[in-house]
A and B are shown apart, each in its own frame.
Chain A
Amino acid sequence: MEFLMIVVVLCVAVSIGVWLFIARQGDAEFEFMVKDRTPFILEEWTEKTATFSCKVPFMNKGTQDGTIMDAYPRHLLPCEQYDGVEVNSRMELMTAPRTDNYFEAVIIPHGTGGAVAITVTFTAKKGSIQDALDEMCELTVDMAIDIVYQIVARTPWYIHKTRMVMTCKEIMDAMQTKNAAK
């Protein structure tokens, strides 16, 4: 009986020790800091399309290294809200720009971070993109963009979303800045 008690006490002590070790060790903890993002700027302009981009910093604020396995922007502009443009969006690491909209998995050591570039292209369904975006702004349509990212670290993989909003005012400002520069 005494021996059994010693075994039980040992098991409990080891379990507590392991639990404390894991709790103290922590894990990776990613944050896309959308509040610190740059304003959208107009990158490219044609009769039918307008392309805007901004930079969003991110950081692994946790205590362990983590891997961003995949990340992409999910723009949300339902036709019920505005049906004058078709939207495409893409995201890439600032340090590893690509042309294929593929996000290569990357290890982010704890306490470090980086930035992603988010590119949004509007294509007018009818008429010119200028008219379409003017109408979008008249209707005060702001477009939500979810940054969706998949993380794998000490804990099993998970997918997280952070929301940012591309406002119609921002679109107008970007176009006016470009026009002024011209």
Chain B
Amino acid sequence: MEELELQPVRTRILTDKDDIVEMIVKYAKDDVGPDDVVSVAESVVAITQGRITRPEDLKICFLAKILCRFVPQLGSLSSVAGMQSAMNAEGKWRILFAMIIGMLAKIVGKNGVFYELAGPQAALVDDVTGTMPPFDKCLVYGPRDPKGVAEEIKSRLGCFGAAVADVNDLKRAAVLGVSEGLDPKKLARILIDNPFGNASQRTPIVIIKNYGKAEKRAEGKA
């Protein structure tokens, strides 16, 4: 019986001149079978979509200077550039509203309200150092239409499915978009150990081998 297997695929550094689907076809096509799921790192999808900015290009508003002070240091929004980029993506009044409600919620013991209200980009923005050179000096937003990207990958490769995932070494995994029929939570659990590796490993694509067979087996047992 074939088991699930995670197969990272090494690529060159992808840039905004690349089409992510074409690159996946170029580097992974020969390794992908009909029962496999192709997952791709969200930051790389975003970079190929040109969703990057430099701190030098941001016009920092007064509100960003204040609000970044209330984000714990490990968060991307704790730097003024990170906060400003989130404000540019989601609107500064929305971020302010989310921050106020989030603080009030924290007082009564409820965490995570800020990110629920601030919009998806607030959680997805990667601050400088968040990605590999030469993008280590850039802020990277979340990708545009991750579900659409996943559907396109599936359609081009004829695989079981595809996903755009946000995974890091801190055992945090979120799947932002999947092709029809895939369970994002289940995929997040499979990818929790960050098979994409660190930036220098340059493996933004991970093939989940035999996913389809495992699904069918599970359905059969049920």
Q: Is chain B found bound to chain A in the same assembly? A: yes
Is B69 in contact with A21, judged by CB distance below 8 angstroms? yes
Residues on the B chain within 8 Å of A102, using CB: 133-134
Is B55 in contact with A152, judged by CB distance below 8 angstroms? yes
* Residue of B whose beta carbon sits closest to that of A100: B133
Nearest CB in chain B: distance from A103 CB, A: 9
User: CA of A157 to CA of B73 in the docked complex: distance in angstroms?
Assistant: 16
* Residue of B whose beta carbon sits closest to that of A66: B79
Nearest CB in chain B: distance from A28 CB, A: 10
Option from A18, A25, A155 in Cβ contact (under 8 Å) with B80? A155
Given contacts A21-B69, A157-B56, contact A105 B80 (CB under 8 A): no
Is A105 in contact with B129, judged by CB distance below 8 angstroms? yes
Is B136 in contact with A152, judged by CB distance below 8 angstroms? no
Residues on the A chain within 8 Å of B68, using CB: 154
Does B213 sit within 8 A of A, measured CB to CB? no
Interface residue tally on A, bucketed by range: 20 to 34
Is A154 in contact with B78, judged by CB distance below 8 angstroms? yes
Nearest CB in chain B: distance from A73 CB, A: 18
User: CA of A153 to CA of B128 in the docked complex: distance in angstroms?
Assistant: 10
Is A104 in contact with B55, judged by CB distance below 8 angstroms? no
23-75 of chain B: CB within 8 A of chain A: 55-56, 60, 65-66, 68-69, 73
User: CA of A157 to CA of B139 in the docked complex: distance in angstroms?
Assistant: 13
Interface residue tally on B, bucketed by range: 10 to 19
User: CA of A154 to CA of B134 in the docked complex: distance in angstroms?
Assistant: 23
Does B167 sit within 8 A of A, measured CB to CB? no
Does A69 sit within 8 A of B, measured CB to CB? yes
Does B92 sit within 8 A of A, measured CB to CB? no
Does B202 sit within 8 A of A, measured CB to CB? no
* Residue of A whose beta carbon sits closest to that of B139: A152
Residues on the A chain within 8 Å of B55, using CB: 69, 152, 156-157
User: CA of A18 to CA of B103 in the docked complex: distance in angstroms?
Assistant: 13
Residues on the B chain within 8 Å of A128, using CB: none
User: CA of A76 to CA of B79 in the docked complex: distance in angstroms?
Assistant: 33
User: CA of A81 to CA of B79 in the docked complex: distance in angstroms?
Assistant: 43
Q: 10 additional contacts, CB 8 Å, given A22-B66, A154-B78, A155-B65?
A: A18-B66, A18-B69, A21-B69, A22-B69, A69-B55, A69-B137, A105-B137, A153-B79, A154-B79, A157-B81
Can you pick out 12 interface pairs between chain A and chain B where the beta carbons lie within 8 Å of each other?
A: A18-B66, A67-B79, A67-B127, A69-B55, A102-B134, A104-B136, A105-B129, A152-B81, A154-B79, A154-B80, A156-B81, A157-B81
**Contact residues of B with A, CB < 8 Å?**
55-56, 60, 65-66, 68-69, 73, 78-81, 127-129, 133-134, 136-137
**Contact residues of A with B, CB < 8 Å?**
18, 21-22, 25, 64-65, 67, 69-70, 102, 104-107, 152-157
